[in-house]
Amino acid sequence: MRLAAIATAAAALFAAVTIASTAAEGVRPVLSVKTRSIEASLTIDPQLKAYPELYAGLLAEGKREVEKWRRSADEDRKATPDAFTDGRRYAFERSYTQSSAIGRYVSIDRDDYLNSGGAHPNSENNSILWDTVLKKRISIRPFFRETAPNGSTLTKLATAIRASLAEQKKQRGADNIDPNTDTELANVQPDLLKMGAVTLARSTDPARSAGLNFHFSPYAVGSYAEGPYDVFVPWESFKDDLSPDDIALFGGVRPKADEDKD
């Protein structure tokens, strides 16, 4: 089946899953706003209350984002009131979900959903890596011996990510995807800012990580209809690049339950 044949169905399914994700988890929003212009919510995984500084930061950040979109919706309603007739309003949802807690590091998925009355809603997948000892957000940079743009470590990771994305695109119906020349996959570069949102993957050894998960929003490496992409890179593929202090952080294999989510 070609990608064009499944685009509409994929888009509809993705939108439905995005909207229903919070309800499916059974987690009540910590903040809900409903005005003539917008209906918005903020949801934070209750597990994250175990890290007070992190939780407080997420709550403050989420409130700012909700307020930003409330103001934007109010301004748009004043400018184009016809777009808000018959009870129509914008919708915005932000959720923070703990994806793993390994050693001193907590990985959080940050997902945004926005419907501002366009051709389709917009969704963004991002991530946060929290160091519970330093009590701050970090990148994966400290895990490796070197992380220079276009250096050996990030080149290896970017190559693995593009190869996985190419295979996933083929599974979704695309033809003739070359990970080295495809223009959409060229968005993945050997640069920490151009490799998607990253989290530590869970492992069969609960004290270790099985590797790295890279998350890509719709539009990042394909059309909106393709939906988001998630890539798992096993730790064995980059073990020689790990810093001496962080080799012990990785081990085991990815749980089958996590594989089945792909």
**Quick one: pLDDT at residue 94?**
99
User: Does the 3-138 domain belong in CATH 1.10.1040.10?
Assistant: no
**Quick one: pLDDT at residue 4?**
40
Residue ranges in the chain whose pLDDT is less than 70: 1-25, 262
Domain ranges of the chain: 3-138, 141-261
**Quick one: pLDDT at residue 9?**
37
pTM more than 0.95: no
Q: How far apart are CA 194 and CA 95, in angstroms?
A: 23
Q: What CATH code is assigned to 141-261?
A: 3.90.640
CA-based angle 213:216:256, to the nearest 5?
Answer: 35
**Quick one: pLDDT at residue 25?**
61
* pLDDT tens-digit series, residues 101-159: 999 999 999 999 999 988 789 999 999 999 999 999 999 999 999 999 999 999 999 99
**Quick one: pLDDT at residue 21?**
45
**Quick one: pLDDT at residue 176?**
84
56, 63, 21: which is closest to 40 by C-alpha?
A: 63
**Quick one: pLDDT at residue 262?**
67
* pLDDT tens-digit series, residues 48-60: 999 999 999 999 9
**Quick one: pLDDT at residue 118?**
82
Q: How far apart are CA 15 and CA 148, in angstroms?
A: 37
Is 141-261 the same fold as 3-138?
no
